A and B are shown apart, each in its own frame.
Chain A
Amino acid sequence: MSRPPKRPAAEKPQIVRDGPDLTGPELADRLDATWARPRGLIGWLATVDHKEIGIRYIVTALAFLALGGLMALHMRLQLMFPDSQWLGAGAFNETFTMHGTTMMFLFAVPVMQGVQIYLAPIMVGTRAMAFPRLTAFSYYMYLFGGLFLWTAHFLHFGPDNGWFSYVPLAGPQYGIGKRADVWAQTVTFTEIAGLAVAVTLVVTILKQRAPGMTLARMPIFVWATLVTSLMVIFSMPSVALVSGMLLSDRLVGTQFFNPVEHGDPLLWQHLFWFFGHPEVYIIFLPATGFVSEIVSTFSRRAIFGYPVVVLSLVSTGILAFGLWVHHMFATGLPRVGYSFYTAASMAVSIPTGLQIFCWIATIWEGRPRLQVPMLYVIGFIITFVIGGLSGVIIAAVPLDLQLHDTYFIVAHFHYVLIGGAVFPLLGAITYWYPKFTGRMMSERLGRIGFWTIFLGFQLAFFPMHFAGLMGMPRRVYTYPAGMGLELPNMLSSIGSAVVAVAVLMFVVNMLASLRAGVAAGPDPWDAPSLEWAVASPPPHYNFAHIPAVESRTPLWDAKDGLPVVHGLRVDERELILTSVISAAPDLREPSAVPSIWPFISAVAVAVTFICSVFSPWALAFGAVPAAAALIAWFWPKTPGANPEPQIT
């Protein structure tokens, strides 16, 4: 519930708007007073500032990256030698399950969403997200889901059936104990968080762009965010549904996946992969957005083929929904049907191939500066294309029937995920770090870190192609000696250690630069997009005046300063809404003030979900505090001290 800010009794309340007579430091102070949040712990928990929430998402996701990476190091240590008994079968199964679940649900999607939450509003020229409290709620849901999963793991009832948790292995008869329920409920947490953020991003991008920023003038990263968020909205309900069905089978004895009672284990696979395939593009497309922004800035020109890049993003997003059966080529479905999915899986690489051309053409026609973000883009192209091509190989059914569930697949998806998402992410963090913190990361340490991770990654994952061709299946805790698998596994294990060192270097760079980095102004890279028009780090209110946009590269084309819009209130939180396609100014809209209710709602919902793993009654009893918190959250606001005059 919000209250109007206190004013001294003597002062007559007035509606205060920005304009030619209210600019500069006085405007900044006013806006700061309106848009800042209360100090202290409650204020910290109650924040609705998208920049704070974005940073929290990124930091939490990097922490989960470290945990997931530790799991990977455990696996590689176990697989370094044949017939190793260092990590037993049960512990290994828990380890690879935690690695996959953490990386896919707790790192890859949240980190992309975190960067999107931070940057998308500033890039489109607005002051806040469309649903700020929903975004805060989603962060807490994500955090609680991750804590739940890892607490269960440390208490030895974490999941151990793989990140994909196939039934009947995860079902009520063979999935012993509460482990699979923990997995399913973690998925519920993260899907709610992901959906909430996606909805907020779509509305922010479509309705809150700066006047003049037509859809055709949006930065590519914003397009990638829009497409990704729409994909999230269409795909995540599938996995939320199927994990709910699993929980229902396990807790109350429904028969969704019981073949004897006309259920079907393949139903799980269809519903899971209907989400699972778009999921990897949900991870990949924001990374292509990063690459477009970095390539544009560091080649000193607008991205080549803007319409082609945008249409590639959109068509990849649509095509991604038609591929999921390629994860099921070995399940015995009709072969002719499989041919359709082979063709679709091949077709989806055409838009990405065109995007790669556009990036290389931008570099070709521009004058590239090879600073660290650009190095990561080059590493991305070299690495991701290998993964993409190994994907083309396994899109063919006869080839996939040999290579499915072998280390060839492990190599493929790490090439596309690390090469295709993590490298751009590291470049993006380096690129936007000055904007987030006001300091530059160390260029020298960045270069060393890049080469270390690039070479370490190739050493770790290229031999896995051979291990797969030589007959090593996935998810095995050991392998026999004498099959020629010793060498690839040893190389992979050494490479994984190198990658770990590189990640450590990157984190050290981030932390050290916080204190000792070179101070950065608003635009250290001389970049074209709107986020570089504000201070580093941006003030709470982002823009002192909402800019008006007249090109795709506003900062490069507005040499005499950005044109701005006047007339927004500075005594209340107010945004400008524009039309969907042409961004013509439309309405002024209040924006939510800080509130503790998203946090309390998240706690109530989290307790309900966690307890429902142990007893279905928790859903009935837990609904009460959750409903109470939501009611408090949505309680209608009293009008402020200065309501707008009614239009009659």
Chain B
Amino acid sequence: MSSLCRNSLILMTAFALLAGCDREARDVRGKPFGETVPGPSPDTIFPGGAPRGALDPRLAAYGRNAYAISQGQQLFIRMNCVGCHAHGGGGMGPALMDAQWRYGGRIDQIAATIAEGRPNGMPSWRGKLTNQQIWQLAAFVRSLSGQEPKDAVSARADELSNTPPETQTRREPVMPADSAQQ
């Protein structure tokens, strides 16, 4: 085999293997840097407004991390997010499994929503959950609409079965809501 072929095979294998580390790492304490959830500002707390700018890749890694998604799943149940959002289908609160994101569907946008609260009933969790927990919840919420890699997601919780397993969820496109549809 030519040396180019061999080297690229080694490189591909290395990347494939390293991907395992990202998914399986269990960061129990959270790193001090990335735990800052974007703060509120007057021009973001309305439908369609959302933090702009590039996302720190270390925060995007929350979405690929199985431990973060699993902790997010447990927090979703224990903090009674299911009370308003059910298991993604919505109720009093909007559905989280679909393509509509009033305040943005990127992970830092969802984390901002959870931390700040939103008009019409979404409570503010800043100071009630640690920032790491908020990022974990955001990662789980994204997995409900299939945004996260399927190998980091768990198929179901040990709960009543309400929704298709998250490993089978189709990846929904992320669209901001039309303000007329509220």
Contact = CB atoms under 8 A, between A and B. Distances in A.
Asked whether any CB of A lies within 8 Å of a CB of B in the complex, the reply is yes
B157 interface: yes
B160 A260 contact: yes
A402 interface: no
B23 interface: yes
A174 to B, nearest CB: 8
Among A152, A177, A249, find the residue whose CB has the most chain B CB atoms closer than 10 A: A177
Given A178-B66, A255-B161, A260-B160, A173 B154 contact: yes
Contacts of B67: 176-177
Contact of B164 (A156, A253, A255, A258): A253
B100 interface: no
Contacts of B73: 173
A121 to B, nearest CB: 39
Given A155-B20, A155-B21, A177-B67, A250 B154 contact: yes
A168 interface: yes
B160 A177 contact: no
Interface in B42-86: 66-67, 70, 73-74
Interface in B77-114: none
Contacts of A253: 155-156, 161, 164-168
A63 to B, nearest CB: 21
Contacts of B70: 173-174, 176-177
Contacts of A255: 156, 161
Nearest to B28: A90
A392 B161 CA distance: 44
Q: Is the interface of A mostly helix, strand, loop or mixed?
A: loop
A259 B20 CA distance: 31
Contact of A172 (B17, B24, B151, B156): B156
A475 B84 CA distance: 40
A586 B37 CA distance: 81
B104 to A, nearest CB: 27
A545 interface: no
B139 interface: no
A179 B160 contact: no
Interface of B: 17, 20-21, 23-26, 66-67, 70, 73-74, 150-152, 154-161, 164-168
Interface of A: 90, 152, 155-157, 168, 171-179, 249-253, 255, 258-261, 614-616
Given A157-B24, A176-B67, A178-B23, 11 more contacts: A172-B154, A252-B165, A253-B155, A253-B167, A255-B156, A258-B161, A260-B158, A260-B159, A260-B160, A615-B150, A616-B167
13 contacts: A155-B21, A156-B21, A157-B24, A172-B155, A172-B156, A173-B70, A174-B70, A177-B23, A177-B70, A249-B156, A258-B156, A258-B161, A261-B160
